[in-house]
Amino acid sequence: MLKGGWCQFSVFLIIILSLALIPSVYARVSGPCVNCHTMHNSQNGSVVDPDGPNKYLLNVGTDPCIACHTGTNKGGGSSNGTTPYVFSNIPPTYGKDTLAGGNFYWVTLDGSKGHNCLNVPGMTPDGNLTTAPGGPVSGGACAGCHDRIDNCESCHTPRHHADDTQTAVVGAAGGFYRFLNSSAHGNNETGVKGIEDDDWEYTVSPSDHNEYAGCTDPVHSGVNLSSDDYSMSAYCAGCHSNFHGYVNTSTDTSNGGSPWLLHPTGYALSDTAAGKEYHNYNGGAGYSPLAPLARDQARLATMTGSSATVYVAAGQAEGDQVMCLSCHRAHGTPYRDMLRWDYSACDAGSANASCGCFVCHTSKDE
């Protein structure tokens, strides 16, 4: 600190002072402990939370995750203490009051519209799926996450007190991107890295969005997609390992990408061969939140916020990648298979601005 000189020290002072002047600016929970916790679930001889006591000594509801995360989003962000809502009792408006992960509301009406997260009120087990399609394991102690989704913590390891403002890219120290790490396995590389949009994409545009870590091997030279590498696709593939991949089949790890037998993920958009359509991704209008891309991890590490720039280079290295969340959302959507858009309205040869396939396959709507 002192080595940096007076100038840097003043900047440091200004930062400290502004933090002191605006105490409400946090990208983590803030406020008196008593707002959220109860030590004995008892105050003046009366119970604090009639449904309690709860884990983490939280003072709300039968299921604290649901109690705090149910509602209708009205804007505002992490920096001003807003709570992000992932479930709404009343019909949400897709893309208007929903966040990046979508909303579990639609899944309570139709199990094919998302993850059947069983602690959500009104949620029933998926009628079609008795295990995670393509999953690596099944049964026994693994079932509550790999065969069905028992609760939010099947996917998240909450770290509400972790400071995720220190660096732009949130990793282990910040509790990982959106607390995405397996509580059952929990070695660091099963976590996800990314840059967190302040309002969870309540407002979203080519230059205002989340940034996701891509796979470390976008040239698919033999590493299986489910290998842990902090990427979003490897995280999803942790439960759906054989189902999608950037190898041709679950067993073939030596392919060169042609012919594809599964849609690639963790694979960089390339412009090398003649006739590739990706150079015109999103009509040249920059990053599209309809069909988002994951970033090369070396590039991500240099980024300090979201960017509208799309990297579709000749060759694979450092190019932006197609990933699971290019086509799916994480919680639920109004569409089958938890897709980001209505796939049944994607017709070859007819332009449709709300079909995400055309964002990348730019010549298939002509």
Report the site for ligand HEC in 251-290 (rule: CB under 6 A): 257, 259-260, 263-265, 267, 269-270, 276
Q: Is 149 in the site for ligand HEC (CB under 6 A)?
A: yes
Phi-psi region of 62 (alpha: psi -120 to 50; beta: other; left: phi over 0): alpha
Q: Which is nearer to ligand HEC, 148 or 295 (CB)?
A: 148
Q: Which is nearer to ligand HEC, 4 or 31 (CB)?
A: 31
Q: Which is nearer to ligand HEC, 4 or 127 (CB)?
A: 127
In this structure, is the dihedral angle defined by the CA atoms of residues 212, 216, 218 and 223, taken in order, positive or negative? negative
**Residue nearest ligand HEC by beta-carbon distance:** 238
Instruction: Tell me the CA distances in angstroms from 359 to 250, 270, 307, one per residue in order.
Output: 27, 14, 17
**Dihedral of the alpha carbons of 180, 89, 120, 158, in degrees to the nearest 10:** 30
User: Considering the complex, what minimum distance in angstroms separates the CB of residue 4 from ligand HEC?
Assistant: 29
Q: Is 330 in the site for ligand HEC (CB under 6 A)?
A: yes
Letter string b/e over residues 89-125, b meaning 16 or more CB atoms within 10 A of that residue's CB:
eeebebbebbbbbbbbbbbbeebbbbbbbebbeebee
Cα-atom radius of gyration of the chain, to the nearest Å? Answer: 22
Q: Which is nearer to ligand HEC, 155 or 247 (CB)?
A: 155
User: Considering the complex, what minimum distance in angstroms separates the CB of residue 218 from ligand HEC?
Assistant: 10
In the shown chain, the binding pattern of residues 20 to 59 toward ligand HEC, with x for contact by CB under 6 A and - for none, equals -------xxx-x-x-xxx------------------x-x-
In the set 49, 228, 318, 342, which binds ligand HEC (CB under 6 A)? 228
Question: Which of 81, 71, 72, 66 shows the shortest CA–CA distance to 32?
Answer: 81
Q: Which is nearer to ligand HEC, 105 or 179 (CB)?
A: 179
Q: Which is nearer to ligand HEC, 8 or 42 (CB)?
A: 42
List binders of ligand HEC among 66-95 (CB under 6 A): 68-69, 78, 83-84, 86-87
User: Considering the complex, what minimum distance in angstroms separates the CB of residue 298 from ligand HEC?
Assistant: 20
Spatial distance between the Cα atoms of 186 and 198, rounded to a whole number of angstroms: 25
Spatial distance between the Cα atoms of 267 and 177, rounded to a whole number of angstroms: 21
Question: Which of 79, 282, 81 shows the shortest CA–CA distance to 197?
Answer: 79
Q: Is 233 in the site for ligand HEC (CB under 6 A)?
A: yes
User: Considering the complex, what minimum distance in angstroms separates the CB of residue 309 from ligand HEC?
Assistant: 15
List binders of ligand HEC among 235-254 (CB under 6 A): 235-241, 243-244
Residue 262 CB neighbours (<10 A): 16
Question: Which of 204, 197, 179 shows the shortest CA–CA distance to 305?
Answer: 197
Q: Is 300 in the site for ligand HEC (CB under 6 A)?
A: no
In the set 99, 195, 213, 294, which binds ligand HEC (CB under 6 A)? 99
**Dihedral of the alpha carbons of 89, 90, 93, 96, in degrees to the nearest 10:** -60
List binders of ligand HEC among 112-131 (CB under 6 A): 112, 115-117, 120, 126, 129
Q: Which is nearer to ligand HEC, 247 or 291 (CB)?
A: 291
User: Considering the complex, what minimum distance in angstroms separates the CB of residue 7 from ligand HEC?
Assistant: 31
Contact 112, 128 (CB under 8 A): yes
List binders of ligand HEC among 152-211 (CB under 6 A): 152-156, 158-161, 164, 178-180, 182-185, 190, 196, 200, 210
Q: Is 108 in the site for ligand HEC (CB under 6 A)?
A: no
- Residue 242, C-beta contacts closer than 8 angstroms, at least 6 positions apart: 134, 135, 136, 250
User: Considering the complex, what minimum distance in angstroms separates the CB of residue 349 from ligand HEC?
Assistant: 13
Q: Which is nearer to ligand HEC, 12 or 341 (CB)?
A: 341
- Residue 148, C-beta contacts closer than 8 angstroms, at least 6 positions apart: 116, 118, 125, 126, 130, 131
User: Considering the complex, what minimum distance in angstroms separates the CB of residue 15 from ligand HEC?
Assistant: 19
